[in-house]
Amino acid sequence: MAKIMFQGTGSSVGKSILVTALCRILTQDGYSVVPFKSQNMSLNSYITLDGKEMGRAQVLQAYACNREPEAYMNPILLKPTGDKKCQIIVNGEVYGNSTAMEYHNMKLQFRDMLKEQFEKLEEEFDIVVMEGAGSPAEINLRDRDIVNMGMAELVDAPVFLIGDIDKGGVFASLAGTMMLLSEDEKQRVKGTVINKFRGDVEILKPGLDMLEDIIHIPCAGVVPHFTLDLEDEDGAVELNTKITDKIDVVVIKLPRMSNFTDVDALALEEDISLRFVTKLEELGTPDMLIIPGSKNTIEDLMYLRNSGIEKAIKEYAENGLLMGICGGYQMLGKSLKDPYFTESSIEEVEGMNLLDIETVFEEKKITTRAKALRKVASVNDLNNFIGFKGEVYGYEIHMGTCTYGEKAKPMFEIYEKNKEATLYNDGAINKKGNVFGTYIHGVFDGVEFREYVANLLRERKGIDKKVSSTYENIREKELDKLADLVRNSIDMELIYKTLGIKGKKEK
């Protein structure tokens, strides 16, 4: 059936969010739509209902299509473990670990699988909206490309090229990208899109005309710079570093931080300012401190130790509210052991000793969608997390498993994983109730726990309690806003002409 691909002049030009917008627009127009990104590199991943792992960008795109995320939307996911190494996820499951060169040499073996999966999507859906990665003009990678022009050629897809004007040099980047493409590749490009524009479009128009004269491709539209309450796309994103509201929540930006979107829902709460810090002097005295997930927990712990941030965290934990998620949770324990060198070259390291748990990294990765409860007796201390009693949901992605010491109490009891009944403990909380951790990514997405945490922080600041909104409802409204903004900014007639269909689907 119909297909279209968005590629960019470089990373973080807005490919993911514009694909998301087009997915919602075409879905609104009555078509069955599915996103597809053959290869994604990201530490921001997600677990599907059947326990498969995929990139978060395609998750948002799936929601834009009113679909449950599935691993076939992102068949290959690369999760960097160092500057030259990564874990390879194929069709949602761990394929192996490799160096950059090893993966570069093995890429072509995935071509047949990608083509076969794409053809199945063409049979099942009206429209496949594809996303490239980085730039198609990486000429040193062209002979083994399976994500940009190589993928477009494999399935004979037309391409729109996106440039980011906010960085400056957008005309040069678009013209330069086209110059480096082969003649066949140039024929695939049906239009350009200029993204993140601030200002008067009339001033820009002469440049658009000159660009079209140079590359002989029409501009399909100019999308204004916008801010919406949607999770950040993969790749290099600008994370907030300033206090912008009454309640200061700090997230430690680890060198190998993963799943930073775990805190997105919390940032939507009124009165809460969420900021990311990388240096000791930026820490300040936050109302809550969060250590997020990590793809290399031991090495990130050593970074905190060597930078002096760990000492500050331990001092903060005497009275502050401290939370660890996945790798951050593991760091709070007594020890971390990696006997199989699963994540790093360090076999064992002492933890922060803030929770009475020990972590051992295993060879097999745990990937589950989970629902859990916090079952506790009634308490009067409203200045800690012990008082929460309710349900949370999210997903687990970890190689490590934890054992409890005598002083550790489980934070949650997981009762469902991958839609099947189960019963096992998750996370831990200290006796005082101000330090805790969990393996559950997306723990703030559920309204009960998020509202409890937000109101606990408000109470400690002398602010009135508030009722939280359901995260899913907020996301749906924001996706519709995104669709309206992009629909009014690009030439949908050209998009439909390129797709080979007539616009809104007749009922």
Residues annotated as catalytic (active site), given as ranges: 326, 441
Beta strands 2-8; 127-131: pairing state: parallel
What's the rounded Cα separation, in Å, for the pair 41 and 153? 21
Report whether 242 contacts 286 (CB < 8 A): no
Which two tokens mark 98? 């490799």
Q: In this structure, are strands 189-197 and 159-164 parallel, antiparallel, or unpaired? A: parallel
Going through 123-226 in order, the beta strands assigned E by DSSP cover: 127-131, 159-164, 189-197, 219-224
Q: How far is CA 415 from CA 389, 396, 425, in A?
A: 15, 13, 9
Contact between 411 and 402 under an 8 Å Cβ cutoff? The reply is no
At residue 258's C-alpha, the angle toward residues 86 and 142, to 5°, is: 40
* Residue 424, phi then psi, degrees to nearest 5: -155, 160
Q: What b/e readout covers 299-311, taking b as 16+ CB neighbours within 10 angstroms?
A: bbbebbbeeebbe
Residue pair 355/408 in contact by the 8 Å Cβ criterion: yes
Rg, Å, the chain Cα set: 24
18: Cβ–Cβ under 8 A, 6 or more apart, which residues? 6, 162, 193, 195, 223, 486
CA distance 468 to 448: 8
Question: Residue 162 in contact with residue 9, Cβ under 8 Å?
Answer: yes
Residue 478, Cβ density class (10 Å: 0-12 exposed, 13-18 middle, ≥19 buried): middle
String of DSSP letters for 197-227: E-S-HHHHHHHHHHHHHHH---EEEEEEP--
Distance of CA 16 to the CA centre of its chain: 11
What's the CA dihedral at 238, 242, 247, 252 to 10 degrees?
60
Question: Encoding tokens for residue 378?
Answer: 């009634």
Report phi then psi at 126, rounded to 5.
-70, -40
Rounded CA gap, 47 and 151, in Å?
25
Dihedral, CA of residue 440, residue 76, residue 20 and residue 81, to nearest 10: 50
Give the DSSP H/E element, type plus range, for residue 432: none
